[in-house]
Amino acid sequence: MIQFKNISKHYTLKGQTVHALKQINLEIPEGSIFGIIGYSGAGKSTLIRLINLLERPSEGQIIINQKDFTALDAKTLRQERANIGMIFQHFNLMQTKTVAENIEMPMRLLGYSKIERKKRLDELLSFIDLEHKRNAYPDELSGGQKQRVGIARALTNHPKILLCDEATSALDPQTTQSVLDLLKKINKEQNITIVMVTHEMDVIEKVCDHIAVMEAGHVIEQGSTVELFSHPKHPTTQTFIQTVLQQHLPTNILKQLENQHHHSIYRLQFLGKSAQEPVIQSMIKAFDVSLNILFASMTEINGTVIGQMFVQVLGEATTVKAAIQHLEEHGVSVASQAGEQK
């Protein structure tokens, strides 16, 4: 587990102080894929760089598996850092070195023997599926291949933690997906905790099991991905989630309904089991109401299906109320959107 305890970080530049992080308290569970999302300048990169103490906090402690990293002497910190790998948006490969030499570099610095280096290099090249590029230079690789080399280099010393700073932001969607698949595989097969900084909600949606949302140096909301996707509280979280899962009825549809305020519009949310049950059908059978589906979207997060449906429920007011109650009793979250309030 990685713990941030009352972490603050400020920079002083030309007499001006920037408070990059303010009183952060955060726990990153072991074995998780933890996403940190926020707009530019929120403090994400500063936060991730504190984990391996590339930056030192101005206040507070970083505790990793009960060890206070902020209190370690330089030599112990160097040893501990070898258990933390890091990958970057622009890959940070050495242009004058081949793929093999880039991957071998950390092993040279850590004093691996030639035989050990060769063995680990072969394992990693096979793992990232780039044996055929062993002697290629970074210039001869695609973006996705460069990031795979970055990942292999980060994994050389069998780290327990992998830090990813906007690791897929420079890649196209298809390549992003293949890098995310590789990260998922690393997490699952090697039980490596992955901490991922991104400004893209669809990256979080695809791989993360936990999220922290940052704004102006604060963590404004945190929780499991399913929790935050289904019940985002802070408006900024809602805005991020809106990019992948519709939170409000699209305005063009709302406009078309302008003259129909007498009909109730509801947002129905189906989570997990309720997404697989025919609750709508049972409601229509049991109550004298009809349903007009205005908009629907669905997503899957770590095996949990989240569905949203914007509907008009038409019928006599008390019947509509009873029908809505039926949905709620069957695990559907219902929120009135416009017109008559439930």
Ligand X SMILES: Nc1ncnc2c1ncn2[C@@H]1O[C@H](COP(=O)(O)OP(=O)(O)OP(=O)(O)O)[C@@H](O)[C@H]1O
**Shortest separation between residue 165's beta carbon and ligand X, angstroms:** 8
42 binds ligand X (CB under 6 A): yes
3-state SS assignment for residue 249? coil
Kindly give, in sequence order, each residue whose CB lies less than 8 Å from that of residue 103, ignoring residues fewer than 6 positions away. Answer: 121, 124, 125, 149, 152, 153, 156
Give the bridge partners for 156, in sequence order. Answer: none
Instruction: Please tell me whether residue 211 binds ligand X under the rule CB under 6 A.
Output: no
Going by C-alpha positions, the residue among 161, 157, 148 that lies closest to residue 34 is 161
Among 3, 32, 46, 225, binds ligand X (CB under 6 A): 46
CB of 5 to ligand X, least distance (A): 19
Pick the stretch among 37-45, 137-145, 300-308, 324-332 that binds ligand X (CB under 6 A): 37-45
Q: With CA atoms as reference, report the closest residue to 301 among 194, 195, 191, 211.
A: 211
For position 35 contacting ligand X by CB under 6 A, the verdict is no
Report the nearest approach of ligand X to the CB of residue 44 (Å): 4
Binding residues for ligand X, total number by CB under 6 A = 13
> Contact between 18 and ligand X (CB under 6 A)?
yes
Q: If binding is defined by CB under 6 A, does position 20 make contact with ligand X?
A: yes
Residue 90 is a binding residue for ligand X (CB under 6 A):
no
Task: Give the three-state DSSP class for 262.
Answer: coil
For 230-241, the DSSP string reads HS--SHHHHHHH
Closest CA to 25 of 209, 304, 220, 313: 220
Residue 236 found at the interface with ligand X (CB under 6 A) = no
Contact set for ligand X, span 172-191 (CB under 6 A): none
3-class DSSP state of 164: strand
Please list the residues that pair with 195 across neighbouring strands: 34, 163
| 138 near ligand X, judged by CB under 6 A | no
- Of 35 and 38, the one with the shorter C-beta distance to ligand X is 38
| Residue 7 binds ligand X (CB under 6 A) | no
Contact residues: ligand X, CB under 6 A: 11, 13, 18, 20, 38, 40-46, 199
